[in-house]
């Protein structure tokens, strides 16, 4: 079974967007962390790939960012699911 690259997952969660300063990045992380019901520190660890992403958080992030789980997991380069049913979630 291939090794899971949590850094790649973190990069797809983060979207690679540069922030003009650390305060804005921290504020956005706090908003997403609140949505997930976790701490800003833990969410930042997901973005860095330092912690595994729980399934329930993966589902919430897919809904929040309007991307497929396959995209976040690095199994596809397509951001949206090809299945119309899952696009409606």
Q: What does the buried/exposed string (b/e) look like for 29-39 if buried means 16 or more CB atoms within 10 Å of the residue's CB?
A: beebbeebebe
Please give the residue range of the domain that contains residue 20: 6-87
Query: Domains in the chain: how many in total?
Result: 1
* pLDDT surpasses 90 at 37: yes
Indicate whether 14 belongs to any domain: yes
- Stronger pLDDT, 87 or 71, i.e. the higher one: 71
Stated pTM of the model = 0.74
CATH number for the domain spanning 48: value is 1.10.260.40
Q: Which residues contact 38 (CB under 8 A, 6 or more apart)?
A: 57
Indicate whether 1 belongs to any domain: no
**Alpha carbon separation from 8 to 5, 51, 72, 74, 84 (Å, rounded):** 5, 12, 8, 7, 26
* pLDDT surpasses 90 at 42: yes
Indicate whether 48 belongs to any domain: yes
Contact 49, 42 (CB under 8 A): no
Give the 3-state secondary structure of residue 83: coil
Q: Mean pLDDT in the chain?
A: 80
């Amino acid at each position: 079974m291939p090794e899971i690259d949590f850094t790649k997952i973190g990069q797809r969660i983060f979207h690679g967007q540069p922030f003009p300063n650390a305060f804005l990045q921290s504020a956005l992380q706090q908003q997403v962390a609140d949505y997930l019901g976790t701490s800003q520190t833990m969410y930042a660890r997901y973005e860095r790939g330092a912690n595994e992403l729980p399934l329930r958080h993966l589902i919430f992030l897919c809904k929040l960012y309007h991307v497929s789980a396959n995209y976040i997991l690095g199994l596809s380069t397509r951001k949206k699911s090809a299945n119309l049913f899952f696009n409606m979630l």
